[in-house]
């Protein structure tokens, strides 16, 4: 066996068809690829809608940027920050080890004398679970 036959057996080849990547989802922060612009000026956006292909994988996305909404293929979008799962509601509850449920209050606008419009946070409510 010669060197040309032996060396390729040492390095396993990647099979791109078996690699599963995370599909883009609503709420993901992305970078929209634009080959006409320098990379440091590519627009950032948030995925607002996904369009699956016949195989169920996300093939196209609709992204909101500061300049409007764009529809692009997933190959022209780079995931920067994964967003929250859109199927989980904003006020979802969690069960802690203590058996209590922790309800997260939604962010509300400050309604006091200030009109700065900045959101304020409230403390979570603790509610005891009822055992049935």
CATH of 22-81, one of 1.20.1250.20, 2.30.30.30, 3.40.50.300, 3.90.550.10: 2.30.30.30
Calculate the alpha carbon distances from 103 to 7, 96, 98, 119, 128 in Å. Answer: 59, 11, 14, 18, 11
Nearest Cα residue to 71 out of 80, 61, 83, 57:
61
Q: pLDDT tens digits, residue range 87-115?
A: 533 333 333 344 444 444 454 444 444 44
* Intervals of CATH 2.30.30.30 along the chain: 22-81
Q: How far apart are CA 27 and CA 34, in angstroms?
A: 21
Given a cut of 80, whether residue 3 has pLDDT beyond it is no
The model's pTM: 0.52
Q: pLDDT tens digits, residue range 16-59?
A: 666 667 889 999 999 999 999 988 889 999 999 999 999 899 99
111 token code pair: 């309604």
Given a cut of 90, whether residue 65 has pLDDT beyond it is yes
């Amino acid at each position: 066996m010669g060197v040309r036959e032996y060396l390729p057996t040492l390095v396993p080849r990647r099979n791109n068809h078996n690699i599963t990547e995370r599909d883009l989802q609503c709420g993901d922060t992305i970078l929209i690829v634009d080959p006409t612009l320098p990379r440091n000026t590519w627009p950032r956006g948030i995925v607002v809608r996904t369009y699956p292909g016949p195989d169920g994988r996300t093939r196209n996305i609709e992204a909101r940027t500061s300049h409007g909404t764009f529809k692009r293929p997933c190959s022209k979008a780079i995931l920067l920050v994964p967003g929250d799962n859109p199927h989980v509601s904003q006020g979802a509850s969690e069960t802690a080890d203590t058996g209590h449920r922790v309800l997260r209050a939604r962010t509300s606008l400050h309604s006091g004398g200030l009109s700065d419009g900045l959101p304020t946070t409230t403390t979570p409510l603790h509610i005891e679970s009822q055992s049935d």
